[in-house]
């Protein structure tokens, strides 16, 4: 993520939020990482509806970030799957576009499915190329 954290700050956050258990709820960790919340003193209890909305937002941020990071990792390893990166259209490119569109629309299940299809198309492509080279060896 490109974030440098001191071990003292991380330990302080875990101790404060985890109430001595050593565990931190995902929603609070995401809020701390992405919103820059400085966790030091306990905050007043949020109203249930506000807390539920905050948890939903944190889960959405985590889901979107995870899918986007995985897509970037796949495209870094297979740059030809990036739309516009090659002269010929690769079969994975429409799924890359679909994944990005779904992420923008916050349709995370569809984005995950599109990502699965990107990976599947690349895996099939890689196996076919590997088999072709094995035949010439």
pLDDT digits (tens, 9 = 90+) for 4-32: 566 676 677 666 666 666 676 666 666 65
pTM over 0.95: no
Separation of alpha carbons 49 and 98, rounded Å: 33
Least confident of 5-9, 39-43, 58-62, 112-116: 39-43
Decide: 13 and 39 in contact? Cβ < 8 Å. Answer: yes
Least confident of 25-34, 101-110, 113-122: 25-34
Helices (H), the chain: 7-18, 26-35, 48-77, 93-104, 108-136
């Amino acid at each position: 993520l490109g974030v440098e954290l001191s071990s003292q700050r991380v330990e302080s956050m875990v101790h404060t939020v985890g109430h001595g258990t050593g565990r931190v709820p995902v929603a609070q960790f995401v809020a701390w990482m992405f919103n820059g919340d400085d966790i030091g003193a306990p905050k007043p209890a949020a109203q249930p509806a506000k807390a539920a909305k905050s948890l939903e937002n944190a889960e959405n941020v985590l889901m979107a970030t995870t899918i986007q990071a995985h897509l970037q990792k796949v495209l870094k390893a297979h740059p030809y799957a990036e739309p516009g990166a090659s002269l010929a259209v690769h079969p994975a490119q429409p799924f890359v576009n679909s994944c990005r569109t779904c992420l923008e629309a916050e349709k995370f299940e569809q984005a995950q499915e599109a990502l699965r299809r990107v990976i599947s198309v690349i895996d099939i492509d890689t196996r076919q190329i590997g088999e072709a080279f094995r035949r010439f060896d």
